Amino acid sequence: MSDFSFSRRRDGTYRLESYEGSDNTVVIPSSFDNKPVTSIADNAFSWSFVRKVVIPDSVTQIGEAAFSWCESLVSVDIPETVKLIGEWAFIGCSSLKSIHLPEGLKKINYSTFQSCSSLISIELPDSVKAIGPEAFSECRSLVKVKLSESLASIGDNAFASCDALTEINFPPLLSELGSDVFSGCTALSAFIIPDDHPVFCSKDGVLFNKKEKKLVYYPFSKKEKRYDIPDGVQFIAEEAFANRNHLEEIIIPESVTQIEPKAFYGCRGLKSIVIPSTVKRVGSSAFHSCSSLREVTLSESLIAIEYSVFYACSSLEFIQLPDNIRIISPCAFSGCSSLNSIIFPDGLIDIGESAFEGCRSLESITLPDNFETLGAHVFGSCTMLDSVILSGKIRVIPPQAFARCESLNHVKLPEGLEEIKSEAFDSCENLLTLQIPESVNDIEPDAFINCRHLMLFVYPDSYAENYARDRDILYSEI
């Protein structure tokens, strides 16, 4: 008993606070000081080397992270009296192959069995109504799962990266499925769903939420090069097609109104995509790392290109932005190394940080007259960029906006420009001349660092003339 530490609860029962012994097999005492032990505290066995634990039937609660990262734990006997198992209770128990869950348990909490990499099968008692986020994520040996008949919801990433999982049943009461529930489940090919299920259905192995008219999951096991999304689908779910590298063509019907974040992330075989005009939003990173994507037709209904939508689409050479686009978000086209031409619509007012960073084939930029704001690093490392014409409403050239644009030769700065920030033109070695508008009233000391051949053209008695003189930069009065 000296290996255990207990604390008295308000109801007079005891909580097991910690175990300090060295035995491989641990039998938790059912009582202490003639009072029942009813709970196991948070982190009670965390990081211990126990191999087997027997929990007495006096216990009703297992605390958060109670057995977390017990990497030697092979077996744990949980009695039917346990009604609550806390978050992270068995996270990282990498030797645990099976576990019996008690009837009466209402929920599998957040990350309860995450990274139990030896767990082969799990059967949920019928009392379980909810599975929390990441509950079984990274259980890479998990082959068989039997969900409870009363299950109503499954949280985000609940079974993410369960590489060995091949099929899963959908109980009739299941109505809520979080984001990326089966993300990275590369062997999952069958959804066992009753024909009369009110919410979900499977067609040719593809999972749909028929109530929300959403395509949820396209199996990795399908090897067709083309897939036609059925007419009537309105939403393409987050990561629905992520990393399905064999797909070369996906046909999106005009019924679709929204493509959720990462929907086509990492589809390295995808060569072209037409987004119909019915689509009002394409979520962040939707086509991130689609490295074979050459042709894109965007919906005319879009008003923004969201964060990292086309990041690292290294084969994309040209894209026509719709007339209604007002914002290009950070990293939207970053790493599109083959992009050599882009025409900005007249209504564009903002380009975010690093939006075109690393677009090494881009040769010229002309921003529309009403454009207002550039983000930091926006055109950084565009090594073939030769000409830049900026609009009349820009007030600030942000940090490293054109850094490492080693071919940059012609830049037109707008009247009304006020500030040129740190390293804005760093290492623009081919930039020989630059006219600074009279309106400029602040230039960071290193704005033109490593521009070894630059001569500034400045107005007499202007801030820019004093700046050039003070820093021994070649200049000439206009």
Q: What is the pLDDT of residues 333-353, one digit of tens each?
A: 999 999 999 999 999 999 999
Residue 105 token pair: 């348990």
Is 298 or 2 the better-scoring residue by pLDDT? Answer: 298
Measured CA to CA, the distance from residue 181 to residue 374 in angstroms comes to 37
What pLDDT is recorded for position 391?
Answer: 85
Measured CA to CA, the distance from residue 75 to residue 86 in angstroms comes to 18
Measured CA to CA, the distance from residue 475 to residue 453 in angstroms comes to 11
At residue 469, φ and ψ (nearest 5 deg) are -65, -45
Decide if pLDDT at 300 tops 80: yes
Residue 45 has what DSSP assignment? S
Instruction: List pLDDT tens digits, range 25-83.
Output: 999 999 999 999 999 999 999 999 999 999 999 999 999 999 999 999 999 999 999 99
Measured CA to CA, the distance from residue 418 to residue 53 in angstroms comes to 69
Neighbour order of strands in the sheet with 396-397: 396-397, 419-420, 442-443
Measured CA to CA, the distance from residue 239 to residue 207 in angstroms comes to 13
State the pLDDT confidence band at 184, using cuts at 50, 70 and 90. very high
Measured CA to CA, the distance from residue 305 to residue 321 in angstroms comes to 9
Exposed, middle or buried, 98 (CB in 10 Å: 0-12/13-18/19+)? middle
Measured CA to CA, the distance from residue 105 to residue 12 in angstroms comes to 24
Closest CA to 278 of 253, 243, 260: 253
DSSP string, 222-262: ---SEEEPPTT--EE-TTTTTT-TT--EEEPPTT--EE-TT
Q: Cα 402 to chain center, whole Å?
A: 28
Q: Cα 94 to chain center, whole Å?
A: 26
Residue 294 token pair: 């050459």
Cα-Cα-Cα-Cα torsion 18, 20, 22, 28, nearest 10 degrees, comes to -40
At residue 29, φ and ψ (nearest 5 deg) are -65, 145
Read off the pLDDT of each residue in 124-136 and give the average, rounded to a whole number. 98
- Cβ atoms 420, 440 nearer than 8 A: yes
H-helix or E-strand spanning residue 467: helix 463-470
Instruction: List pLDDT tens digits, range 425-445.
Output: 999 999 999 999 999 999 999
- Cβ atoms 354, 374 nearer than 8 A: no
What pLDDT is recorded for position 240?
Answer: 98
What pLDDT is recorded for position 41?
Answer: 98
At residue 90, φ and ψ (nearest 5 deg) are -125, 20
What pLDDT is recorded for position 1?
Answer: 60
Read off the pLDDT of each residue in 151-175 and give the average, rounded to a whole number. 97
What pLDDT is recorded for position 173?
Answer: 97
CB count within 10 Å of CB 12 equals 10
Read off the pLDDT of each residue in 281-290 and give the average, rounded to a whole number. 98
Read off the pLDDT of each residue in 195-212 and give the average, rounded to a whole number. 97
Measured CA to CA, the distance from residue 300 to residue 305 in angstroms comes to 12
Average pLDDT, whole number, for the chain? 97
